Structure formats: structure tokens, C-alpha cells
Structure 1
Amino acid sequence: MASATAAGYGWIRSSSAGFGYALDLGYTLALVRGVRPDELLGMAGAEPRGMSAGLGELIERHQERLIEAEYWDETILAGACSVEGEGGDWTLALVLGGDLGSPLLMETLSAGTRAVSHSNNGGKPMHFFHWYEHGELRTMFERPQVRSGSTPDELNAVMREVGLDPTDDEAPGADRKAAVFALTERLTGVRVTDELLALAEFLTGDVPEEPAGSWEGVTVHITDAHGERTFVQLRRDQL
């Protein structure tokens, strides 16, 4: 685990299991310690849809759903399987073309344990990383240089080791997504491989898209050119 770096995740760009499909379409990959796959899907409000043998079959089912729903659906297909990691069993959950990392769900999943997720939204340059501990968001970022959470700087040293620069832009050619996979391994002890995804027995379910709900405002975190951090709070009526 301690040696995980971006170099160990170059396979995501040439995945025989089909992870390139997830990168192109958008995905969420979440890891939660001590929560079974059926428990995770239950907490997400999923309607059970049986098993999928590997990522290839999960992709086929996702494509069939897109065609049946004419490329728009009110639910998203999630697959979850058990994996070994630091401190015992973890559940790996993978969503294609949707988001399983909503704050409320991640807070619930991480109550009394640890949850880590990363995602992109497919076709747009938005890539997120979240680390939750005991129901609390510890560190999140879209760009490594702009972090938030209760401990936004705690992972800085590890980020540098895996290939992310928390203070400046990465070197040209750096694979930020591969580095995020490595950062996730550092926090979970779970090494995600092409073979793991190809052979995983995914318990699947239809997860409803989270309603917008009510909210009062947002907090925007800002880091200036000198590394000084501040934040601005905006009420709903100001947006």
C-alpha cells in the first residue's frame, strides 16, 4: 500500500476490462470499509437488479438501459463487490454515468468508518476526490491546489508521493487520474486492478438520482497565489 503511485495505474488508459468506457462516460468509484455490498446499495436506496459478472457485463447492462430509456433515466446503475483492504473487508461501488458520492450518502456510509471516492462527469474537465472519516468530510478537491474539508492539508505529503502537487500545477504529462487512484489506495489499502474489475462479481441495483433538496447556501474555498487559504460564504439568494 505504502508504495502506490500514479505509475501503478497506467492501465486505466488501456483497460482490457473496459474502464476507458467509464472515463469517457463519467463514473463514480467509492470504497467503504466494513459495509457489505448489499448494505451499501440499501443505504443508497437501490432497487436490486441481480449480479453482473465483471465490468464488461456491467457496461453491457448500462448500454442496454440507455437504449431502453432513450439515453435518459431517473435512476443510475450501480455495481458493488467485496474487496480486501486495510483493516478488513471493503466494498467497492462503481457507478457508470452517474454520481454515488453525494454528501449525505457519503456521510451516512462513512459513519463509524472510512469512505473514499473519486469521479468524473464524462466529457467535461471535472474530476473529484473525497475522503470521509466517521461521517465527516476530511479532504476533497477537484484540482489538487484547491482543497476543502475539515483537514484540507492533511494529505499533502501523500499527494506529492503519488504524483499530485497540492501547491502548483503538475509537471506536463502527469496523469492526475492515475495519481488519484494511487491516493485512494494509500487511504484504503485496496489496489484496484484491471483484472479485479474484469473478474468482480458485482451486486447491482438501480439507484435513484438524488433530489435537489433544500439548502441555504454554499461555501467557496479560495487559495491565493501565495498559498493563503480563505473562504466566502454565499446565501441562496446571492447565487
Structure 2
Amino acid sequence: MTSATAADYGWIRSSSSLFAYALEVGYTLTLARGVSPSEVFRIVGAEPRGECAGLDEFIREQQEFSDEYEEWPEAFLAGAFTTRGEGGGWTLALEFGGDLGTRPRLMEALSAGTRAVSHSSNGGKPMDFFHWYEDGELRTTFEWPADRAGSTPDELNGMMREVGLNPTGDEAPGIDRKAAVLALTERLTGVRVTEELLAEAEYQVAEVPEEPAEEWAGITVDITDAHGERTYVDVDRTQL
């Protein structure tokens, strides 16, 4: 296990860093051990679109792809490559405005018999999420470190403290929570994400369709008014 801390990822806040673009527009970064980029794309039903030499080229292709849509795109581009980490090769998948690492069914499939970790931001006034899956199971997830969920929400508490996150309250002054999340991810994967790694990698690129909305059969209206009177009605789709 590495000894990474938030201090090792201070570079992400440099205005000249490629990660600054990710923080501005929103991103998802996913790491899965022992799964190839092509297998990631097969599982998610993505259409391959060749390769990009480095992150600059991938960003340009992503921007040109988004410009093809007059309104909100019905798909997004993901770029992925293999790098070394704890226990062998890991696929690093990155997308801007996408949601691969937040899709439960995909993460369950990627982590079956292995491990997958992701973190994300929606840009702007961000919501930032972290997910750790092991053997197809969501073990720990959080937006705020003190508000965790999963089958083992407290298992990473010691590691979180070591990287600069506080699982019981606010972080110490000066701690960059996003940098600390990258350090936590490194401790779980053994993959040191550097600006050089992202900038120089050969990305396999694929077009990922939006996740289909789940079918629903109806809705339930359950309201209790100020006088304690309760209204409870099941309404199926044919009645709407």
C-alpha cells in the first residue's frame, strides 16, 4: 500500500493543469483492476471510436463530439488506458460530463472478483462522490466524508484520516478534500495519478450511451396533513 496524502495531489489545483478542466466541467475517473479498456466498453455497451494520443487530443475530440448536439447530448465519450497498480494492471477510465463510475450495475460488474474505485464531480457548484466496490459489492461511498454508506462504511476510516479526510467531522484547515480523495484512491489501487500520466497516455475512446431510464409501474401518493389526516393512494401508469 502506498503512503499517499492530499499533499501529493496539490497539482490538481494549478490553473495550468489538465485536471483543472475536469474540475471546471465535471468528470468521472474510474479504476478497475484486471479489466481491459475494451472489456469496460463492452460491459457498458459503448461504441469504439479509435484512439487519442494524450489528454489534450481526447479533450478536443470530446468537445467536438458535444458540439454535434444542439441540445443535451444523448451520449458521451469515455477514454481509457491500462496502467500499473497494486496487484497488476488497472484500467483508468475518464470522461467529462459522463457517469460511468457512478453506475451501480457497471461498477458491480467491473468489481466482480476484483476491485473498482471511482470519484467524480459535476463541475460548477460541485457535488463530489467517492465509491469503493469489492467483489461486486459497494463497500464505502460518500459525498461528505462524515456521511458514508455501503456495506462497510467505516472500514476506510483509518485510511481516510491518514490522507487528510475526517470521517467524523470537518477536515483540518487547509486540507483539499478533492486532493485527499485522489490520495485515498491511490491507497486502494496503488495507481499514482499524475498530470504526466493523464497527459501522455494513449486513450482508447468509445461513445457511451446514456443509461436507459428504469421502467416504472406507477406512483404512490402518501400525504399526512397538519391535522393528522392521511391520504394514501396507489396510481398505476394507465391512470396517469
1:164-203 mapped onto 2 (5 Å cutoff):
164-203=165-204
Residue 114 of structure 1, CA deviation: 0.3
Any stretches of 5+ residues in structure 2 without a counterpart? Answer: 218-233, 235-240
What secondary structure is seen at the aligned counterpart in 2 of 1:183?
Answer: helix
- Spell out, residue by residue over 1:114-172, the C-alpha distance to the aligned partner (whole angstroms, 9 max, x if none): 00000011113310000000100000000000000000000000000001000011123
- Spell out, residue by residue over 1:48-87, the C-alpha distance to the aligned partner (whole angstroms, 9 max, x if none): 0100111111111111112221352111100000000000
Q: Which stretch shows the higher mean deviation, 207-216 or 35-44?
A: 207-216
- Tell me the equivalent position of 2:36: 36
- Spell out, residue by residue over 1:79-115, the C-alpha distance to the aligned partner (whole angstroms, 9 max, x if none): 0000000000000000111111200110011111100
Q: Name the CA distance, whole Å, in 2 between partners of 1:143 and 1:126.
A: 9
What secondary structure is seen at the aligned counterpart in 1 of 2:100?
Answer: coil
Q: Is the 8 A contact 1:80 1:91 kept in 2?
A: yes
Q: Is the 8 A contact 1:164 1:176 kept in 2?
A: yes
Q: Is the 8 A contact 1:17 1:55 kept in 2?
A: no
Amino acid at match of 1:109: L
Q: Is the 8 A contact 1:110 1:133 kept in 2?
A: yes
Q: Name the CA distance, whole Å, in 2 between partners of 1:154 and 1:91.
A: 24
What secondary structure is seen at the aligned counterpart in 2 of 1:130?
Answer: strand
Q: Name the CA distance, whole Å, in 2 between partners of 1:77 and 1:49.
A: 9
Any stretches of 5+ residues in structure 1 without a counterpart? Answer: 217-236
Q: Name the CA distance, whole Å, in 2 between partners of 1:205 and 1:198.
A: 18
Amino acid at match of 1:59: I
Q: What TM-score do you get using the length of structure 1 for normalisation?
A: 0.87
Number of residues of Structure 1 aligned to a counterpart in Structure 2: 217
Q: Is the 8 A contact 2:11 2:17 kept in 1?
A: no
- Spell out, residue by residue over 1:177-200, the C-alpha distance to the aligned partner (whole angstroms, 9 max, x if none): 000000000000000000000100
What secondary structure is seen at the aligned counterpart in 2 of 1:198?
Answer: helix
Q: Greater Rg, structure 1 or structure 2?
A: 2
- Tell me the equivalent position of 2:160: 159
Give the percent of matched residue pairs that are identical in Structure 1 and Structure 2. 70
CA, structure 1 residues 215+194, in 2 after alignment: closer, same or farther (shift >3 Å)?
Answer: farther
1:82-231 mapped onto 2 (5 Å cutoff):
82-101=82-101, 102-214=103-215
Amino acid at match of 2:162: E
Amino acid at match of 1:27: Y
Q: Name the CA distance, whole Å, in 1 between partners of 2:71 and 2:174.
A: 34
Amino acid at match of 1:207: V
What secondary structure is seen at the aligned counterpart in 2 of 1:138?
Answer: strand
Q: Name the CA distance, whole Å, in 1 between partners of 2:185 and 2:15.
A: 18
Amino acid at match of 1:137: L
Q: CA RMSD in A?
A: 1.5
Q: Is the 8 A contact 2:84 2:191 kept in 1?
A: yes
Amino acid at match of 1:82: T
CA, structure 1 residues 8+193, in 2 after alignment: closer, same or farther (shift >3 Å)?
Answer: same
Residue 16 of structure 1, CA deviation: 4.6
- Tell me the equivalent position of 2:227: none
Q: What TM-score do you get using the length of structure 2 for normalisation?
A: 0.87
Q: Name the CA distance, whole Å, in 2 between partners of 1:88 and 1:160.
A: 26
Q: Is the 8 A contact 1:17 1:197 kept in 2?
A: no
- Spell out, residue by residue over 1:169-224, the C-alpha distance to the aligned partner (whole angstroms, 9 max, x if none): 112331000000000000000000000001000000000111221479xxxxxxxx
